[in-house]
Amino acid sequence: MEKIYRPQEVADQLKIKKATVYELIKRGELKSSKVGKQIRISQEQLDEYLTRTSPAGQDSGLTAALPPVMDIPRFHADQASRQVDYLLHSNGLIISSQESRVVELLRSLLTRRVNSLPLLHSYMNDYNSLYSLYYGKTHMALTCLCYQQFEERISQISHFLPGTEAAVIHICTLKTGFYVQKGNPKKIKNVTDLCRPDIVFLNREKGNGLRMSLDRLLAEKKTDSPFNPDFRDESLSHMSSANAVASGLCDISMGDLSHLTAYPQLDFIPFNDASMDLVIVKSSLEEPAFSAILETINSREFKDSLLHFNGYETMHTGDILFTTP
């Protein structure tokens, strides 16, 4: 009889956390079956995952050196519009975002509300999330964009949604910055140090809110050594950024402060505050399912749960501003 595993048993075999196993299942990278309400993974399903993520099937370079669990599929703009077409035939609301923890929190609290619909998560970076919302491929985009002035995020979002009036519902503000080794042995002080020849910098992927903000800032800086953003290796999540620095695969990468709690061997250099916002086409706010989402975001339980993440602030959670067409 074929061996059947519990998620914890798979986590023990792969030397990863059980939560990571659930994340792999959610992203469709690790197939599983349900027995009643319990998740089970067969030996065949586990072998298939291990075969696909074996070193022989990976590209060379820095990204390939990261553990397979850290690799999240890349999206290109044309792929993003097709990525979620199959979800549109499902009975649920599609939310596109690179942030999975807040989506999971929102999803769990929504199940308690009468008028709610299932929340289907399509993992995309900020650019592709807004791109897909603009083309009607998703119902909501959860974005995280850096700003100098708080209102600046509205103009950034409007830029991606020309001719569309959208509601921008504030979720939280958070601290973003650079992960470096404990004690900052390379003495990195500011973004111009990223141009130093002795610094190995792992950038975020194109379309990520941090990457877009950094690209704009570097374009404004005058440096003796030009910074070339078009290199092969890119990080696809906060966790993979922190993991790469902690593993010594690079000197510095970018992410948000909350992920630092899992890496005591790292220090953090602040970059900019960022605003996490839920973007919805304004006309959709009249639908009962979206009313349930607004009620959930404004609930005390949702706001208190956000505060468990280090550096998250909820002073303006639930505030709504509108983009201009």
> Cα angle vertex 65, ends 61, 66, to 5°?
125
The answer to whether residues 320 and 262 belong to one domain is: yes
The answer to whether residues 129 and 221 belong to one domain is: yes
Q: 14 in helix, strand or coil?
A: helix
The answer to whether residues 87 and 236 belong to one domain is: yes
Residue 51 belongs to some domain of the structure? yes
The answer to whether residues 284 and 195 belong to one domain is: yes
Q: Is the dihedral of CA 28, 45, 32, 261 positive or negative?
A: negative
Phi, psi torsion values for 35, nearest 5 degrees:
-115, 100
The answer to whether residues 147 and 246 belong to one domain is: yes
Segment (H or E) for 129:
helix 126-134
Rg, Å, the chain Cα set:
20
| CATH number for the domain that contains residue 16 | 1.10.1660
The answer to whether residues 25 and 159 belong to one domain is: no
Q: Which amino acid is at 23?
A: E
Cα diameter, the chain:
66
Domain that holds residue 262: 69-325
The answer to whether residues 324 and 298 belong to one domain is: yes
The answer to whether residues 155 and 27 belong to one domain is: no
Residue 22 belongs to some domain of the structure? yes
Residue 245 belongs to some domain of the structure? yes
> Cα angle vertex 14, ends 8, 17, to 5°?
50
Residue 215 belongs to some domain of the structure? yes
The answer to whether residues 270 and 143 belong to one domain is: yes
Tell me which of 16, 37, 57 is where a domain ends: 57
Q: What is the pLDDT along the chain (325 residues), one digit of tens a residue?
A: 567 888 888 888 887 888 888 888 887 788 888 887 788 888 888 878 777 655 444 443 444 433 333 333 343 444 444 444 444 545 688 899 998 899 999 999 998 888 888 888 888 999 999 999 999 889 999 999 998 887 889 999 999 999 999 999 999 999 999 999 999 999 999 888 888 888 999 999 989 999 999 988 887 775 555 555 444 578 888 988 999 999 999 999 999 999 998 899 999 999 999 999 999 999 988 888 899 999 999 999 999 999 999 999 999 999 999 998 7
Q: Mutual orientation of helices 126-134 and 152-160 as an angle, nearest 10°?
A: 60
The answer to whether residues 160 and 292 belong to one domain is: yes
Residue 11 belongs to some domain of the structure? yes
Residue 64 belongs to some domain of the structure? no
The answer to whether residues 183 and 261 belong to one domain is: yes
The CA distance from 145 to 208, in Å, is: 8
The answer to whether residues 100 and 27 belong to one domain is: no
The CA distance from 246 to 233, in Å, is: 17
| CATH number for the domain that contains residue 118 | 3.40.190.290
Tokens 């990204």, located at residue: 63
Number of domains the chain contains: 2
